Chain A
């Protein structure tokens, strides 16, 4: 309805503040009397903390306090927790090692905080932090999965013998083994899913502000989910009771999962503000981000696919080791299990699947959800397998996929997920057409004559998002429900405020959510204000991750809107002396259908608040709230095809064309959706070509700055060609599926499939740096 409703690519409401420098991020906030925190961090990957001498630091200019891990333990601040319980094959619960916010006894990764200096200025805090003397006794470190599971490996946690977090399985092992025993062909791959650093451009930051008169805390933080932060800080970390803690996440400069988690620095800023009775600000720098933000991915996998003689898939067997880092981060346990192995069926009919996942502690930064979270790893496994299979079976990779596509919905996979709807042929066809697949051999031959190796690669991804039905995730071990809440306030003058538990940190909710209202009421989006990110304003919320904001948060808004509209119709009918069943809403007016009688929204709102003439028994006001709990995950899916050239002299990859054909269900704002895809694809390409967090054998992070960790830049990536195919999601009132993670989930397999196609060598690890590609071409290790 109208030019600003569903389907309109309206420019974003939030942009003006960002393009004029008026965004308000945590580090932009200054409070009266504010002090600054700087952490004393371990230079060792594994060590005993034998003593901390703060005496010299305390004498330095501007120093207010030096606080240590022992003090935080003495104050009974709770250890950091992992909120999703996973059980091993043998039924034993996962082994959670104790993680205090600052280490009193043992440090287990480089960068772990042992103390914090609070001072008048940031520089003074930094200067004094260098004067804190920490006596470490170094211990041997296990810096990667192989080192951690080797016999005689250093042990990280007494709770976790052998450094094993859990040894988990899913699927039917016997049925899968039987499928393999009948196979005409078996294709096997060993894969590394490289470790990534999320690197949102805004480093994490927090301000704790304690008011002793009110015994009340306020935390300003770079969070994707401020209510979850409040819940965890109060229920598990004992820092403040929920009703005495306000969490504000203002403008947040990107998250990609890394700002879901409640980190030690936020806990300490809040706790320390009471200790020093002044506001305490901490702003991380990029090096701290590299060392302490939760990293992503880091799997070692062996996977096998069994085919019958007609190239139909019979079964899939997967064995994965997942690196957890030194501690179990907030949702870490779910990522390589229910967010990973449940998607291994991909877009295919696979009668039998068996997967086992061993979680492993290492002396590295904790690993948790990063854009896609488990699903990129799953997609990489199945899509590398499919491409490899096509090569081994000597069939066209598109046709092998097509032959095995799920075409009947709903479809129950052997690994929990029930795909509700999709049309995988449609997105494959759209992508094939856009890239002119038929013309590829000629293009490849022409490139060869020019000394270039040209390749094409596919990735037909599917993901589960719109996270998540609370009952279902509860039965799988989640410690929280994953519904969303919304409140719709129609003000007496007819303007509208939407309060949502979703959090926008780049996704454009202020625009998209306003469009939902514009669609229903026919009002301009300028009359709608979206309010989020403040636990004192918004009733509750589970936040933004897992491509859930529109499918779950948007649906909550619709549910609240339905209540508002029902009441408004009653008021309008009463004023117009008509039946409420005859009232329709058009262009901001309530009309009696078939007549010229109408009343404008502001008049209905005013009537609701003056309450001079409401239907008998009706409460005044026009404000409703709703909680929406989805009935299923949503299943965005699509085909990505990448065409590229490799320079055999240098191993450098250059993109020729990158096509993404996605099915996200209904699009509210196609411009914003496409922006999400561009960003996701670039992160997927980053994983494939550039990014990789590397620790040396002693546990030092080699890639601890942008000097060594290659971030995608403008000249590393192409302009993308996007296509949309549509099957409406039946599981939510909007028919939407979610688009935030798809690009990151699907892109990396397409790139590696294309490079290996170009160079004629299937053995290539990510990131496929020029050095690695050159070695793969020239046959040297």
Chain B
């Protein structure tokens, strides 16, 4: 790792100010992605601004039909939040499958979304649940937030402060783990909104990061059951292909994981 300057922010405003002072600053939340990248000397921020201890950025709120997860809430705290487990269990389940226990104690939803790793879990939930990403400047819809591999709509210095999820009628997440990294080789989040809309998002599969799967959405809208997908064939076009999974295999996994997610959703 190159030498850097560490700053612990006390508030969102403080964080933004610290960021602006650095010539090439980066925000640090749980650090479970940024620090490995810095260790490999693939990132060299002059300053890192730590958001993890800003009180206003931590916590899970459930009110009416909306769940709000503050951006610096760790995966562990999301996974074990009893209100969330009751209201949106698929999301708690997803958080409990990220990385490993030690990573879940440190990693945060804001960090995961800002990084937008194509194999990260949260983006699938955010896209499928049509969540809204809140920053210190604005609100960004899920559709507008993800812009491809490791790319988001966030502007320089913009801080994700929270993510709000409309509570769905049904939702489920199924993930097939990458044999080495344990990221999602392919993970699929299925959600049926209270108005009956169906959204399905797959992570780990596409060359452009998290993606919606219209063919599966249509089939599930017609018939919310795993068997409704039996005849579906997902196209392998644009899917990633590597030593752990060819594109046609990932296409198959999208279907199979979607079926399992529907079964889990009930």
Contacts and interface: CB of A to CB of B under 8 A. Distances in A.
A650 B179 CA distance: 13
B56 interface: no
A396 B256 CA distance: 35
A365 B259 CA distance: 43
A555 interface: no
B249 A771 contact: yes
Interface in A737-781: 769-771, 774-775, 780
A650 B256 contact: yes
Interface in A335-390: none
Given A650-B256, A775-B249, A702 B243 contact: yes
Contact of A708 (B1, B181, B249, B253): B181
Interface string A668-707: 0000000000000000000000101010000000110011
A771 B245 contact: yes
B181 A649 contact: no
Interface string B225-266: 000000000000000000111101100110010010000000
B249 A711 contact: no
Q: Tell me the interface secondary structure of chain B in the complex.
A: loop
Interface residues of A, number: 26
A709 interface: yes
B243 A775 contact: no
Contacts of A127: 2
Nearest to B246: A771
Contact of A774 (B40, B180, B249, B259): B249
Contacts of A713: 182
Interface residues of B, number: 21
A650 B245 CA distance: 11
B133 to A, nearest CB: 27
Contacts of B1: 123
B256 A649 contact: yes
A530 interface: no
Interface in B1-40: 1-3, 40
A765 to B, nearest CB: 12
Interface string B172-188: 00001001111001000
Contacts, number: 53
Contacts of A34: none
B181 A775 contact: no
A139 interface: no
Nearest to A713: B182
A710 B181 CA distance: 7
A706 B245 contact: no
Contacts of A651: 249
A184 to B, nearest CB: 40
Contacts of B253: 650
Nearest to A689: B179
Contact of A709 (B180, B256, B259): B180
A687 to B, nearest CB: 13
A709 B180 CA distance: 6
Nearest to B245: A771
Interface string B75-91: 00000000000000000
Specify which of B243, B244, B246, B252 lies most central, judged by the most chain A CB atoms within 10 Å of its CB: B243
B246 A775 contact: yes
A287 B36 CA distance: 13
A706 B176 contact: no
Contact of B180 (A650, A711, A780): A711
Contacts of A690: 179-180
Contact of B179 (A702, A770, A780): A770
Given A649-B256, A650-B253, A650-B256, A707 B246 contact: no
A692 B243 CA distance: 10
Interface string A142-181: 0000000000000000000000000000000000000000
Contacts of A780: 248
The 3 A-B residue pairs with the shortest CB-CB distance in the complex, in nearest-first order: A710-B180, A710-B179, A649-B256
Interface of B: 1-3, 40-41, 176, 179-182, 185, 243-246, 248-249, 252-253, 256, 259
26 contacts: A127-B2, A287-B40, A649-B259, A650-B176, A650-B253, A651-B249, A690-B179, A692-B243, A702-B243, A703-B243, A706-B180, A708-B181, A708-B243, A708-B244, A710-B180, A769-B179, A769-B243, A769-B244, A770-B176, A770-B179, A770-B185, A770-B249, A771-B244, A771-B245, A774-B252, A775-B249
Given A703-B180, A703-B243, 5 more contacts: A127-B2, A707-B180, A709-B180, A710-B244, A771-B249
